[in-house]
Structure 1
């Protein structure tokens, strides 16, 4: 079996590239032939050390390009990527080769669709976000700070500035979405991997009917430290300080509950939140090991996101550490939490509802009970890389058989 992986980046710069690279390494360790195709370097040295053939175009992405205006042509139709991909796929055996697309929006562009359609190889797509169906990738209206329920590319969608920056970028993304819908990418995809049930529910109405859908969890890096001896001492938020993450609601709820929240992270709301909530403990940006230490010590992780999310890894990491999670009822993180068992749900965007959850978990007995359940339920079926690879290899075999 030959697995041909496509991603924007050849190094880890976020969740998507981490899953793509770690799965490539895991497949190579299982003796599979793997090719890794990416637009942006540098190349993670572990790939070539593992015997993986790497094709890196050494291009810029949307964040590193020296010219945003000049980058427009690449982000809408990256012709060099199309040509290189077509050449790399030429002659590959469709009975032995599966193409797995992990990411394209930041560099590769919809142009990969044309090459994939012409190649006719079995194609699997992991939906890490919603760019395949939504112009801004998240079904979220940033200026209004609400979940978006408009039909993608409808007149209402096109006329609405939902972008996190400005309407001009929204129109560029609308144009790219039109190009995407005619690129052949959706037609080339035979199997879609979603990382949450919510993602499946939200995206499927805007996809062609032919792909087979699969629900596969991303792997989580977690160390089994055993159950906690006693509940932790604080309520922790860990993540970006931005409106879609709901951090304002956590701060307001903590104020209502008479709690000083612990906040690990940085972002555009940092100064505003510090001024409004002087009792909050702002820890700033933390390395991953430090974040996990804070999670282990916390009474609960609060995940107040007001948009859908994909599969929020911090939720699972906290549960693995025996820390209950208080999660908003609108985001995919709720799928890991059984309300009242290993954490609590609250009404998204409602500080009073969140404050009630904080008060409930302030009780030592409740916190201890949910901590035990968080640990036991996670480790009964841990989200290991091996489990992830078993699932995707089963999908590869199905794609080849089809």
Structure 2
């Protein structure tokens, strides 16, 4: 089949959704399917469009670093997309993987493609909802209700009245998502906990789970690399340095816990200057370092090398891919979000009791204390200071358990969802 993926941001930009889309494409193509990815053109300095599977829509950058852009849904965008698709084989299914302009562009595309083919309705649509629009918006503005109203107005101007049934109990951001979901044949979410929340708020009566997997080959390469020598535990944090990720709270917890560990922060964002300032003010420069943004392969290597990943956001992530990647690499996670911990369901983990800095500090002390025993034991057993940590390690996740997170397993599930959407067309 030919799957048209439409998303809010370019697949080559930074972000967990983008990683998931790139992996889905690769593994779908290995099964003989064709994938075309539609998104706003990327304005990052040095980027040159070259992949024939990408359709780059006319767009404007919306961040200072030009990493992210917006393509305005409307006739101009419709024409650009239609002209690009005219050069390709017919599309069988539209997979919307966006919650804002990408969703609107994708739904308009499904309508237009259906009409061009003489169908009574749109092409089949699978809509994966990646963003916790309610929580994310409330985290950045006190005017969230007004923003939700604006999204609904925008959606109606672009798409007209919502098609299909919309549950009366859906309100605010959930109402906006429900009006988008009403046009999909199948609605999915990247985790069970977010699927349950979408159902609970009336976005859709049934939400399937299509998790983002981790690259089989990258995991295979990273897992064979030796872990570097150390004399104390090493913790790693990866993500965008923004308020909802709670990176500043993490630094405060490190200072409060006074742990004897090396902590490496991978990523960047608006809070990076404050992160540097807080590390210096707390006197943590001997323990906390900032590696900055790194390529995907280096991020995996960092997680494999670490004794534990620290996941700090709460109630924001719709999947939280890094703990899944860490588990596939054998690295346990210190979880702040119990819902993500339930989804990962790993045999080795630590869970923070609540959202307070004090609770995170307590869990950091506990985890580092337990990990330190393993570090000291491995060092003595291998012949002294500086020796490599021995494997197998009782505080590592077994390889057999980690294999369930691989992309090959998740792609089989995704194809099942596509077939369900295709099979539902006659019954709509």
TM-score over 0.5 (shorter chain): yes
Alignment partners' CA distance in 1, 2:202 and 2:409: 27
Going from structure 1 to structure 2, the CA distance change for 1:39 and 1:235 (only over 3 Å counts) comes to closer
Offset of residue 227 of structure 1: 10
Contact map agreement 1:326 1:343 (CA 8 A) in 2: yes
Alignment partners' CA distance in 2, 1:108 and 1:365: 43
Contact map agreement 1:308 1:330 (CA 8 A) in 2: no
Contact map agreement 2:132 2:316 (CA 8 A) in 1: no
Offset of residue 116 of structure 1: 2.6
Contact map agreement 1:296 1:321 (CA 8 A) in 2: yes
Offset of residue 364 of structure 1: 4.1
Name the TM-score, length of structure 1 as normaliser: 0.74
Residue among 74, 77, 89 paired with 1:78: 74
* Structure 1 partner of 2:324: 316
* Structure 2 partner of 1:388: 410
Offset of residue 391 of structure 1: 1.0
Alignment partners' CA distance in 2, 1:24 and 1:128: 17
1:29-48 equivalences in 2 (<5 Å): 29-41=30-42, 45=50, 47-48=51-52
Offset of residue 254 of structure 1: 2.1
* Structure 2 partner of 1:142: 140
* Structure 2 partner of 1:126: 128
Going from structure 1 to structure 2, the CA distance change for 1:271 and 1:226 (only over 3 Å counts) comes to closer
* Structure 2 partner of 1:148: none
* Structure 2 partner of 1:224: 223
* Structure 2 partner of 1:398: 420
Q: Which runs of 5+ in 1 are unaligned?
A: 144-159
Alignment partners' CA distance in 1, 2:93 and 2:103: 20
* Structure 1 partner of 2:290: 283
* Structure 2 partner of 1:149: none
Offset of residue 191 of structure 1: 0.8
SS in 1 for 2:327: helix
Alignment partners' CA distance in 2, 1:30 and 1:299: 35
Contact map agreement 1:326 1:346 (CA 8 A) in 2: yes
Contact map agreement 1:78 1:111 (CA 8 A) in 2: yes
* Structure 1 partner of 2:314: 306
Alignment partners' CA distance in 2, 1:112 and 1:18: 19
* Structure 2 partner of 1:150: none
Going from structure 1 to structure 2, the CA distance change for 1:104 and 1:82 (only over 3 Å counts) comes to farther
Contact map agreement 1:309 1:333 (CA 8 A) in 2: no
Residue among 184, 193, 207 paired with 1:213: 207
Offset of residue 325 of structure 1: 0.9
1:143-182 equivalences in 2 (<5 Å): 160-162=142-144, 172-173=150-151, 175-176=153-154, 179=157, 182=161
SS in 1 for 2:359: helix
Contact map agreement 1:43 1:56 (CA 8 A) in 2: no
Residue among 244, 266, 269 paired with 2:268: 266
**Which deviations, in whole Å up to 9, do the C-alpha atoms of 1:182-235 show, x marking residues without a partner?**
46543321112211122112222444546x421122121323338979996233
* Structure 2 partner of 1:113: 107
Contact map agreement 2:94 2:106 (CA 8 A) in 1: no
Name the TM-score, length of structure 2 as normaliser: 0.70
Contact map agreement 2:315 2:337 (CA 8 A) in 1: no
* Structure 2 partner of 1:2: 2
Alignment partners' CA distance in 2, 1:22 and 1:16: 10
Correspondence 1:247 to 2:247: yes
Contact map agreement 1:40 1:58 (CA 8 A) in 2: yes
- How many residues align? The count is 362
**Which deviations, in whole Å up to 9, do the C-alpha atoms of 1:2-55 show, x marking residues without a partner?**
22222244541122233223322332332223333333256764x43xxx5x54
Contact map agreement 2:240 2:268 (CA 8 A) in 1: yes
Alignment partners' CA distance in 1, 2:275 and 2:203: 42
SS in 2 for 1:287: coil
Alignment partners' CA distance in 2, 1:111 and 1:295: 36
SS in 1 for 2:128: strand
What RMSD, in angstroms, separates the aligned Cα atoms of the two structures? 4.0
Contact map agreement 2:308 2:333 (CA 8 A) in 1: yes
SS in 2 for 1:188: coil
Offset of residue 370 of structure 1: 11
Going from structure 1 to structure 2, the CA distance change for 1:80 and 1:382 (only over 3 Å counts) comes to same
Alignment partners' CA distance in 1, 2:16 and 2:360: 27
Correspondence 1:355 to 2:361: yes
Offset of residue 170 of structure 1: 7.2
Alignment partners' CA distance in 1, 2:30 and 2:330: 31
SS in 1 for 2:405: coil
Contact map agreement 1:324 1:371 (CA 8 A) in 2: no
Going from structure 1 to structure 2, the CA distance change for 1:129 and 1:374 (only over 3 Å counts) comes to farther
